[in-house]
Amino acid sequence: MKEWTREERYRELKSPEEIRDLHERISKSVYRQTYHVQPVTGLSSDPNGFALHKGVWHLCYQWCPWGAVHGLKYWYHVTSTDLIHWKNEGIGLAPDCYFDNRGTHSGSAISVGDDLYFFYTGNHRDEDWTRTPYTCAAVLGADGKPHKLEKPLFGPRDTHSEHQRDPKIVWVESKRKYFIFIGAQTADLKGCVLVYESAELLDGWTFAGQLKVPGFESFGGMWECPYIVNVSGTDVLIFSPQYIKLPGRGNSTNHNVYFLGKMDYDTLTFTPQGDYHYLDYGFDFYAAQGAANVGDPDKAILISWIGLPDNHYPTEEEDWEGTMTLPRELRVKDGRLVQTPIAGIESLRGLPDNGNLPAACELQVEAGEGDFELALFTKADGTGGLRLRYDSAKRLCTVDRTGMNKRFNEQVFEVLDMPLETPLKTLRIFIDRCSTEIFVNDGEETFTTRSYPTEGEFHYTVSDGAKLRLWTMKPSVRDDFVV
């Protein structure tokens, strides 16, 4: 694996020409995707600035142009009118001001009237590498690009550590105010959320307090990418806690969880109904962000990075890595969060296939009664691959990727359990070259993983008695070089 110096990781992109060859080279990779948003070059991580504005969906991702490495982060901008077909728009935000000199870090967007506003973290570092995170804003211009405000909206609290970032902007009708949630760490290194409020979007921001989440005052060391949304009258708090091992999550210390509960904006208290839940049981899922301006009180739209901080993936050798999930619809049904693939995705279905596993496809499976096994990416004799086993007595799915030729992050986890509330009935699975997303029982649980099949790993097996349908998927995201 390439060792990157700090100079290499934090090199500023002066001209698109510096990465044209890189794009040319990686676009030939067998793992480049066809219906998911992926980095134009280099590395993509968190989704940012996800909002519907005047009929267009805007999405950005954390982007490091040079290779598969976390370094100087840009926002790369893509747009869509249906959340299925996406177009590359070029750089959204570049780290070119003193207050974001070492990265335009994660954030969100909101559409108000004729304008689309972006809120992000300016990751400032001094010469001696001391970090000061600023909360900054930008507004979409007539040229279709975000334009930054000259000055940050506010700086960090000195009552907390340097980890204060990822502003999520929301309008709270009952208070007639905007709120910003910031992922943070207390002075004694506990994960938390800081809350700011203002009647105006680009002015008047004051610190409102630290969010209280009774029972979870000591849950990990940093809460990245917080997001609170009301769905069908229930509040949902989503965030990515770090620096903690959680049951059933191997050696990983990065997670994406949610609570259902009640948010009180008077006391800044989120009261959870019960324990936290994993937002996705898969190996690779992090920093999920909900879109603003969905226009339906009964659902939210969520998208996430298929990957984890600190982990490494096989396409790093090719100098690129990272991808987004499909957008998902989030609903609350019978007191539970349900996630389904974006409506209309079936419009990409091509032909039913000839018995092999195409590199980009959708599978639908009815599992039948009792125990069950589905193995994807097996060799011709049915061995190896990514195996999903269901133990009906324990009501437990186990996903095992040890059988794949290309193994990665072995020291973190390669086998994970996914307990089910109700017996396994259906699976809906989306494969796109290097990712696999599994929706169980119409979205009661999900399991997302990177998968890198090699030559010969394009077969599958399924238990007798199960019914399986499979379609190839047509491309919907062009791999255009726009920078």
Q: What is the footprint of ligand FRU within residues 182-221 (CB under 6 A)? A: 183
**Is 166 a residue that touches ligand FRU (CB under 6 A)?**
yes
Q: Which of 38, 111, 121, 256 is the binder for ligand FRU (CB under 6 A)? A: 121
Contact flag: residue 165 with ligand FRU (CB under 6 A): yes
CB of 96 to ligand FRU, least distance (A): 16
Q: Whole-number minimum distance, CB 24 to ligand FRU, in Å?
A: 26
Alpha-carbon span 366 to 461, nearest angstrom: 14
Among 23, 32, 36, 73, which residue sits at the site for ligand FRU (rule: CB under 6 A)?
A: 73
Task: Please give the size of the binding site for ligand FRU, defined by CB under 6 A.
Answer: 14
Closer to ligand FRU at the Cβ: 49 or 453? Answer: 49
Nearest Cα neighbor of 104 from 135, 150, 142, 140 is 135
| Beta carbon nearer to ligand FRU, 279 or 404 | 279
Backbone torsions φ then ψ of 382, nearest 5 degrees: 85, 0
Mark 214-233 with x for binding to ligand FRU (rule: CB under 6 A) and - for no binding. Answer: ----------xx--------
How far is residue 179's CA from residue 200's CA, in Å, rounded to a whole number?
Answer: 10
Of 38, 41, 44, 106, the one binding ligand FRU by CB under 6 A: 106
Place of tokens 């965030």: 239
Residue 120 CB-density burial (10 A; 0-12 exposed, 13-18 middle, 19+ buried): buried
Helix, strand, coil share of the chain (percent; to 5): 5, 50, 45
253 binds ligand FRU (CB under 6 A): no
Instruction: Take residue 13 and report the two structure tokens written for it.
Output: 């992109």
The answer to the question of residue 100 lying near ligand FRU (CB under 6 A) is no
Question: What is the smallest separation between the CB atom of 335 and ligand FRU, expressed in angstroms?
Answer: 29
CB of 38 to ligand FRU, least distance (A): 16
- Give me the amino acid identity at 49: G
Q: Contact with ligand FRU (CB under 6 A): which of 93, 170, 236, 287?
A: 287
**Which residues within the stretch 13-72 sit at the binding site for ligand FRU (CB under 6 A)?**
45-46, 62
Q: Is 108 in the site for ligand FRU (CB under 6 A)?
A: no
Asked whether position 339 contacts ligand FRU by CB under 6 A, the answer is no
Active site residues: 46
Q: Is 372 exposed, middle or buried (0-12, 13-18, 19+ CB in 10 A)?
A: buried
Phi-psi region of 10 (alpha: psi -120 to 50; beta: other; left: phi over 0): alpha
CB of 256 to ligand FRU, least distance (A): 10
The CA–CA distances, whole Å, from 448 to 182, 281, 325, 435 equal 26, 7, 8, 8
Query: Cα angle vertex 86, ends 84, 92, to 5°?
Result: 135
* Minimum CB–partner distance for residue 231 and ligand FRU (Å): 23
Rule CB under 6 A: say whether 105 interacts with ligand FRU: yes
Residues forming a β-bridge with 366: 426, 467
- Residue 140, judged by CB atoms within 10 A of its CB (0-12, 13-18, 19+), counts as buried
Q: Using CB under 6 A, which of 16, 90, 309, 358 touches ligand FRU?
A: 309
Contacts of 58 (CB under 8 A, 6+ apart): 49, 50, 51, 52, 77, 78, 79, 109, 116, 140
H helix or E strand, kind and range, residue 9: helix 6-9
- How far apart (Å, rounded) are the C-alpha atoms in residues 242 and 255? 7
Q: Is residue 321 within the footprint of ligand FRU (CB under 6 A)?
A: no
Residue owning tokens 């011709």: 380
- Residue 104 lies near ligand FRU (rule: CB under 6 A): no
Site for ligand FRU contains 449 (CB under 6 A):
no
Q: How far is the CB of 27 from ligand FRU (least distance, A)?
A: 24
CB 224 within 8 A of CB 239: yes
Q: How far is the CB of 146 from ligand FRU (least distance, A)?
A: 16
Q: Which residues bind ligand FRU (CB under 6 A)?
A: 45-46, 62, 73, 105-106, 121, 165-166, 183, 224-225, 287, 309
